[in-house]
Amino acid sequence: MTLDIPNLKDFDARLRDEAHEEPTLEIPQGEPTKKTQIIAIYGKGGIGKSFTLANLSHMMAEMGQRVLLIGCDPKSDTTSLLFGGKACPTIIETSTRKKLAGEEVKIGDVCFKRGGVFAMELGGPEVGRGCGGRGIIHGFELLEKLGFHDWDFDYVLLDFLGDVVCGGFGLPIARDMAQKVILVASNDLQSLYVANNVCSAVEYFRRLGGNVGVAGLVINKDDGTGEAAAFAAEVKIPVLAAIPQDDDLRKKSANYQIVGSYESQWGPMFADLATAVGLAPPVRPAPLTQDGLLGLFSAEHTGADFVLTPATDADMRGKYAGVKASLEVVYDNV
């Protein structure tokens, strides 16, 4: 009797090929059932997510909504703006300190209030001493222990760094923790590159059965050149607001002043944004290719028409370039 032994090399190759295949079947989507809108905001570092979120959350609270703002960026700058520059204890550092003391973390240790907004920071590890994405996962695990799923809020706003694409920062999309995503970008290639990456992640997990969609784009520091609006049109998402590039906004943000209030001249703009955020449905985006993204900008600024010239072996060797003796064995004809 002969045994049918599988070819393990062929089996391994098939598994590797399957792992690189994009899913082709979209699983039917279900409607979110929880009344709380959990919204993840993504954008390039420094593009103004924290400025947008701090003022948006404050405006929502003034409009009578119960709002929880969670900073999920290792820089911990979300709540700093809300609290006038005051840094609050992060969940990660508080958890570490309490664990060493044999104590449990309580809500009052990590959650603080201003203007009707409840806010907390997940935080991150010290530089070079841990993984920021893993810190995000640990932070949400602790929130679940504190009763996150039983809290009563109209909106939970999550501030995520969009530059980092690891699993921790992709948590709301990959695990359906949020119902929708809002992108913050400006009229520059780098911030739109990050926004497009997030759209790609949303699209990928939608094909795997996820329910998260993109509610729209907030254009921050809008100088009127139009690239961000063109991007939104191409990926088929709405523009929720265009926050102008204004010196008054820049100064107030730098001084940790809240402008998302009816007492500010900018209040109506953030009130309109708050309404748009609440009503905008999560849609499935159509992410662009790299060439498509470059096509939104003038070629003289991006190098979109640059032709790649392949390097040669001689180029790499430089002054050591030369004809190498062949190691091929040549046999004389007999």
Q: Which residues are known to be catalytic?
A: 44, 49, 75, 163
Give the type of residue at 89: P
Is the Cβ–Cβ distance between 179 and 154 less than 8 Å? Answer: no
Residue located via tokens 């005051």: 86
The set of residues, in sequence order, having a beta carbon less than 8 Å from that of 29 and lying 6+ positions away, is: 206, 209, 211
Count CB neighbours of 130 within 10 A: 14
Encoded tokens for 71:
């900073």
**How far is 200 from 259, CA to CA, in rounded Å?**
32
At residue 275's C-alpha, the angle toward residues 220 and 196, to 5°, is 40
Chain length of the chain: 334
CB-based contact 217:183 (threshold 8 Å): yes
